[in-house]
Amino acid sequence: MRPFAVHPCNIGRYFLLLTAVFLALPSGAGFCKVGLLGTAAPGFTAKSVAGEDLSRDTLLSEGNVVVITFWGMRCAACIEEMGALNGLAPRLAGKKVRILEFNTDGLNAKELAEAMKENGVVSRFTVVPDPDFKVMEAYKLEAAPLTYIIGKDGVIAYEHIGFKPGDETELERLIDKAIAQ
């Protein structure tokens, strides 16, 4: 059996083939993990775009499951995920869950609200600026979108980088599972 070798004349073809395979992967293929799964969720305090004071401890003390997503204005997969999550809003209404959508653009609340309006970005959940990147650092943001589910016990029950259509169905199932525990 001959060892695999690429003839110099075919290098360009193999490069194109590998590029095509890479580009065919779904946006945000979700194969990366951050490493916080099963650990206590880092604490945070923040103020939403609407002016609501938020903290991990307060949300958990109210018996909520907390879903945190990190998204950016220039991230197509993030905006796609936000739209898919908006579709879950009617089914999650009345359940003990809070979804916080932390923006990764370093904007303050006023700038973020203006940018969302200018770009037609709409959320049916709580949008939170993180202008000092403190929450992003605590949650080890490496890529966006990044999603966590924090169980009522304060432990991270789910982490996922990326988004592809259908991820919201799995997220809803896992939210319901966390609420039931």
Q: How high does pLDDT run on average in the chain?
A: 86
Q: Token match 């890479």: residue?
A: 22
Name the residue among 142, 23, 134, 48 with its Cα closest to residue 99: 48
pTM of the model: 0.80
Q: Is residue 94 part of a domain?
A: yes
Q: Token match 């220039």: residue?
A: 74
Residue 111: domain span: 28-180
Q: Is residue 129 part of a domain?
A: yes
Q: Is residue 174 part of a domain?
A: yes
Measured distance CA(71)–CA(74) in Å, rounded? 9
Name the residue among 80, 138, 73 with its Cα closest to residue 104: 73
2-6, 140-144, 148-152: lowest mean pLDDT where?
2-6
Confidence band of 33 (pLDDT split at 50, 70, 90): low
What CATH number is attached to the domain comprising 48?
Answer: 3.40.30.10
Measured distance CA(13)–CA(20) in Å, rounded? 11
Measured distance CA(78)–CA(107) in Å, rounded? 16
Per DSSP, the residues of 43-69 read: P-EEE-TT--EEEHHHHHHTT-EEEEE
Of residues 66 and 9, more confidence is placed in 66
Q: Is residue 22 part of a domain?
A: no
